[in-house]
C-alpha cells in the first residue's frame, strides 16, 4: 500500500513538473514572439570611410533571400572587419562601434558578435530598432574588403632645432672662421621616452623656417654651403666624439662621416606636419672605432617639440 502511494505521489509530482515546464516555455514564447529574425545569405562591403587617426568605418550591406537589407557601419582599427563584439551607437567614433539600419529603420541599441574563422564570417546579434521593435540577425558566409592606406600618424619621436653659426677650423693655424651667408640648423631627435637618438647638423640659407629645411643634405667634414651637413667624428684613443650621428637598432651610436641625409614631411589626418629623417649610403664610425660603409637609418613621423 505504501508503495502504491509512493508511485501515485511520483506521478503527481511529475505532472506538476511537466506543467510548470510547459508554462515556462509558453511564457518565453510569448515574451519573444514579437522578435523578427533575419538570416542573411549575402554580404557586400562598400568603400571604407576614414574617420580619424587609426579608425575606419567599414560599410557592409547584408541581404536575405526575400530581399530584406541591413546596412551596417562598423568602427575598425583595421581595413578588414576583426572578430569581436560591436556595440550599437548613434555615431561611429571608435573601434568596436557599430550602427546602421535594418529595413530602413535605425538601430538604437544592441550588439553584434562577429567571428571570422577560415575566411568565413559569422554575425549574430540581438538589436532594438528606432520603433522599439526587436530583431535577431544572423549571417554566415564570405566577406571581402579592399585594403587601403592608413593616414600617417605621429610616431612619438620629437625633435628640436637650434640655429648657430657655421665655422671652419684651420688645422694649420688652429683657428676657426665663421662662414657668412649660411646658418647651421642642428636637429636633436628624441624617442618616445625623451632620450636623444640622433643629431643632424644641417647647413642652409639663413632665416629659414623648419618646414623650409626639407631636402637632401650631403655629409662632409668641410661642410660650409647650403644643403650640406657637418660630419660626425670619433677619436676612440682620446675618447672624443661628436657631430652628426644616430643610434642604430642595437643601441650603438654611429657617427656619420659621409653619405646623404634627407628630411621630408607629410601631414596627418588633422593637418599636422610630420617629419621623417633618413640617411643612406652612410659611412660611420662608432665609439669603439668600428667603421662601416653602406649604413642607413630612418626616423619617421616625428613632431616638433
**Percentage of the chain modeled with pLDDT above 90:** 79
Looking at residue 7, its pLDDT comes to 40
Q: What is the pTM of this model?
A: 0.65
In sequence order, what are the residues at sequence separation of 6 or more whose Cβ sits closer than 8 angstroms to the Cβ of residue 207?
183
Annotate 253-274 with DSSP letters as a single string: EEEEEEEEEEEEEEE-TT--EE
Length of the chain counted residue by residue: 305
Which helix H or strand E contains 4, and what residues bound it? helix 2-32
Looking at residue 69, its pLDDT comes to 97
Which helix H or strand E contains 47, and what residues bound it? strand 42-52
Which helix H or strand E contains 67, and what residues bound it? none
- CA gyration radius for the chain? 34
Q: Are strands 291-304 and 273-285 parallel, antiparallel or unpaired?
A: antiparallel
Rounded to whole angstroms, the Cα distance separating 305 from 302 reads 9
DSSP E strand stretches across 64-181: 69-76, 84-88, 97-102, 105-117, 120-129, 134-141, 158-164, 167-170, 175-178
Rounded to whole angstroms, the Cα distance separating 296 from 282 reads 6
Q: What end-to-end distance do the CA atoms of the chain give, in Å?
A: 96
Going from the C-alpha of 274 to that of each of 50, 185, 300, the distances in angstroms are 19, 18, 8
Looking at residue 34, its pLDDT comes to 82
Looking at residue 33, its pLDDT comes to 60
Rounded to whole angstroms, the Cα distance separating 72 from 60 reads 5
Residue indicated by cell numbers 623656417: 209
Enumerate residue ranges in the chain where pLDDT < 70.
1-33
Looking at residue 149, its pLDDT comes to 85
- Residue 285: beta bridge partners? 255, 291
Rounded to whole angstroms, the Cα distance separating 30 from 16 reads 21
Rounded to whole angstroms, the Cα distance separating 55 from 102 reads 24
Rounded to whole angstroms, the Cα distance separating 46 from 23 reads 47
Amino acid at each position: 500500500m505504501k508503495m502504491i502511494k509512493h508511485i501515485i505521489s511520483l506521478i503527481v509530482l511529475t505532472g506538476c513538473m511537466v506543467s510548470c515546464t510547459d508554462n515556462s516555455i509558453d511564457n518565453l514564447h510569448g515574451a519573444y514572439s514579437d522578435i523578427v529574425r533575419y538570416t542573411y545569405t549575402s554580404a557586400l562591403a562598400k568603400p571604407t570611410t576614414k574617420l580619424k587617426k587609426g579608425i575606419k568605418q567599414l560599410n557592409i550591406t547584408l541581404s536575405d533571400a526575400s530581399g530584406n537589407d541591413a546596412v551596417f557601419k562598423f568602427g575598425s582599427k583595421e581595413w578588414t572587419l576583426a572578430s569581436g563584439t560591436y556595440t550599437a551607437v548613434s555615431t561611429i567614433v571608435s573601434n568596436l562601434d557599430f550602427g546602421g539600419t535594418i529595413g530602413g529603420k535605425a538601430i538604437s541599441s544592441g550588439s553584434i558578435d562577429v567571428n571570422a574563422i577560415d575566411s568565413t564570417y559569422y554575425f549574430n546579434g540581438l538589436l532594438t530598432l528606432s520603433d522599439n521593435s526587436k530583431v535577431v540577425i544572423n549571417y554566415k558566409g564570405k566577406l571581402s574588403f579592399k585594403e587601403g592606406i592608413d593616414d600617417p600618424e605621429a610616431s612619438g619621436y620629437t625633435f628640436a632645432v637650434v640655429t648657430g653659426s657655421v665655422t671652419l677650423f684651420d688645422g694649420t693655424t688652429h683657428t676657426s672662421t665663421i662662414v657668412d651667408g649660411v646658418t647651421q640648423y642642428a636637429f636633436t631627435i628624441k624617442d618616445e621616452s625623451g632620450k636623444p637618438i640622433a643629431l643632424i647638423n644641417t647647413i642652409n640659407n639663413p632665416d629659414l623656417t623648419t618646414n623650409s629645411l626639407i631636402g637632401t643634405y650631403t655629409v662632409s667634414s668641410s661642410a660650409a654651403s647650403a644643403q650640406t651637413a657637418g660630419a660626425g667624428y670619433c677619436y676612440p684613443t682620446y675618447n672624443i666624439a661628436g657631430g652628426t650621428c644616430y643610434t642604430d637598432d642595437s643601441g650603438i651610436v654611429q657617427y656619420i662621416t659621409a653619405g646623404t641625409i634627407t628630411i621630408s614631411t607629410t601631414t596627418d589626418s588633422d593637418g599636422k606636419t610630420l617629419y621623417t629623417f633618413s640617411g643612406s649610403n652612410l659611412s660611420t664610425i662608432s665609439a669603439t672605432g668600428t667603421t662601416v660603409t653602406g649604413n642607413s637609418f630612418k626616423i619617421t613621423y616625428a613632431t616638433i617639440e
